[in-house]
A and B are shown apart, each in its own frame.
Chain A
């Protein structure tokens, strides 16, 4: 496929930032308790990564090497502030639920990682697509985690009750562990396992093999 299509689609399953590059896991724990916050976070991160890749790529031939990390940081931080302001203006209740985590997109390794690894070496158009692609890969994992956590933890999806909870007079005993952050870790591990069962080329080769135990002289 064309390199543009490759940049966009590869990071979804073949080179997933969370599942293969193991980046950006932190925010996956905190905001995946319900689908509304998950979706908004996915959109915010995808937009920020795409735009930051685009702008970093625009200035890549002018950035002095010794300040390039700070330059990337400045661009990313400015975009995150803009995203936060937009959320506060047009989706205030969700922005209150997301509270500090929109700001923490700045610390998300995916954004900085792609800026340094891709945008600094490639033209703006394809950098933008790479950013969007990685955002989509991140979104796939988060939606997987968020859907399971909300459905089996709180019995709802997007706030709509699907499995009526015992606490609300229904029959479903909600899985309390799914509402706690560590469950997101377990689910991400599960996702990585499922992904590598499907795409076996992602399974890393063993770095060493254990030799059979030598015979002991008594």
Chain B
């Protein structure tokens, strides 16, 4: 057997090649991490502004300038209030706060037990919301970060509500692993457009917004509800993407419910004296 074909040489060559390729690949990844992170942040901002109805693919406005109009605040989810000076751990910086990272930090998050309908595992104590101040005081738009498990992975996105903390302005997802053409249609502008004007809560303050297959009847429909009521609480699910649609509904139910932004939105609708 020639030297090249010997077991020893084969192993050495394979090892050498793997080491060389690993070094190149990780080197490039580390070197380019910074510009990639900036790109991802810009993309997130564009998606957020798109959900808020302020930006689309044809806009010539600089998204970063639009972002300056929003004020960023941290919300204590349990109490449903903005974080005050003395509350939080002193090291929390609003701008630098990463809710996704915080969810893995035991000091800044809590585990979810059986109520974890969106498959989150843990939930951060403080959420980073973006607020667009209104002309006559109050808020014009409220941007809520949402995430939840779909079919192949977790979807991360923004739900934007109007100042009444009930009507939806829009929704967008900036990260997901769903199948292109099926679950991936959560990015389709036509599907996203139907979210505009929908109402989240019913008269009792429960989350009534559902994502349903066409023809399906929601639990709230029936003799008591009118057709118009039902329509404003209903989003058509995605064809061929049952599990992704279910994931979206679970996400909405969780984040607008008592374990999510429920208390926060309740306080906006009926401010405590």
With an 8 A cutoff between CB atoms, is A22 at the interface?
Answer: no
Within 113-169 of A, Cβ neighbours of B (below 8 Å) are at: none
User: Which residues does chain A contribute within 8 Å of B13, judged by CB atoms?
Assistant: 62-64, 67, 71
- Interface residue SS majority, chain B: helix
User: Which residues does chain A contribute within 8 Å of B14, judged by CB atoms?
Assistant: 67, 71
> In the complex, A62 Cα to B3 Cα: how many Å?
10
> In the complex, A140 Cα to B258 Cα: how many Å?
58
With an 8 A cutoff between CB atoms, is B193 at the interface?
Answer: no
Instruction: Name B24's contact: one of A67, A71, A82, A93 (CB within 8 Å).
Output: A82
Instruction: Name B21's contact: one of A62, A66, A74 (CB within 8 Å).
Output: A74
> Contact mask B174-195 → A, CB, 8 Å, 1/0?
0000001000000000000000
> In the complex, A192 Cα to B9 Cα: how many Å?
45
With an 8 A cutoff between CB atoms, is B35 at the interface?
Answer: yes
User: Which residues does chain A contribute within 8 Å of B43, judged by CB atoms?
Assistant: 92-93, 96
> In the complex, A78 Cα to B25 Cα: how many Å?
6
Q: Using A64-B10, A75-B21, A90-B35 as known contacts, say yes or no to A85 and B29 having CB atoms under 8 A apart.
A: yes
> Contact mask B13-38 → A, CB, 8 Å, 1/0?
11001100100110011001001100
Within 78-96 of A, Cβ neighbours of B (below 8 Å) are at: 78, 81-82, 85-86, 88-90, 92-93, 96
> Contact mask B235-273 → A, CB, 8 Å, 1/0?
000000000000000000000000000000000000000
Contact A86 B10 (CB under 8 A): no
User: Which residues does chain B contribute within 8 Å of A218, judged by CB atoms?
Assistant: none
Contact A100 B180 (CB under 8 A): yes
- Interface residue SS majority, chain A: helix
Task: Please give the distance in Å from B61's CB to the nearest CB on chain A.
Answer: 16
> In the complex, A74 Cα to B32 Cα: how many Å?
21
> In the complex, A63 Cα to B180 Cα: how many Å?
39
> In the complex, A59 Cα to B5 Cα: how many Å?
14
> In the complex, A65 Cα to B29 Cα: how many Å?
31
User: Which residues does chain B contribute within 8 Å of A71, judged by CB atoms?
Assistant: 13-14, 17
With an 8 A cutoff between CB atoms, is B42 at the interface?
Answer: yes
User: Which residues does chain B contribute within 8 Å of A62, judged by CB atoms?
Assistant: 4, 13
Q: Using A66-B10, A90-B35 as known contacts, say yes or no to A74 and B25 having CB atoms under 8 A apart.
A: no
With an 8 A cutoff between CB atoms, is B71 at the interface?
Answer: no
With an 8 A cutoff between CB atoms, is B39 at the interface?
Answer: yes
With an 8 A cutoff between CB atoms, is A99 at the interface?
Answer: yes
Q: Using A89-B36, A90-B35 as known contacts, say yes or no to A81 and B25 having CB atoms under 8 A apart.
A: yes
Contact B17 A88 (CB under 8 A): no
> In the complex, A75 Cα to B14 Cα: how many Å?
11
> In the complex, A61 Cα to B180 Cα: how many Å?
42
Contact A85 B36 (CB under 8 A): yes
Contact B21 A89 (CB under 8 A): no
Instruction: Name B25's contact: one of A82, A90, A96 (CB within 8 Å).
Output: A82
Contact A89 B32 (CB under 8 A): yes
Within 129-177 of B, Cβ neighbours of A (below 8 Å) are at: none
Task: Please give the distance in Å from A162's CB to the nearest CB on chain B.
Answer: 17
User: Which residues does chain A contribute within 8 Å of B36, judged by CB atoms?
Assistant: 85, 88-89, 92
A-B contact pairs, 27 of them (CB 8 A): A61-B4, A64-B4, A64-B5, A64-B6, A65-B5, A66-B5, A66-B10, A67-B14, A71-B13, A71-B14, A74-B21, A75-B17, A75-B21, A77-B21, A78-B21, A78-B25, A85-B28, A86-B28, A86-B32, A88-B36, A88-B39, A89-B36, A89-B39, A92-B40, A92-B42, A92-B43, A99-B180
Name the 9 nearest CB pairs between A and B, nearest first: A92-B39, A89-B32, A78-B21, A89-B35, A64-B10, A82-B28, A89-B36, A88-B36, A85-B28
* Residues on A facing B (Cβ under 8 Å): 59, 61-67, 71, 74-75, 77-78, 81-82, 85-86, 88-90, 92-93, 96, 99-100
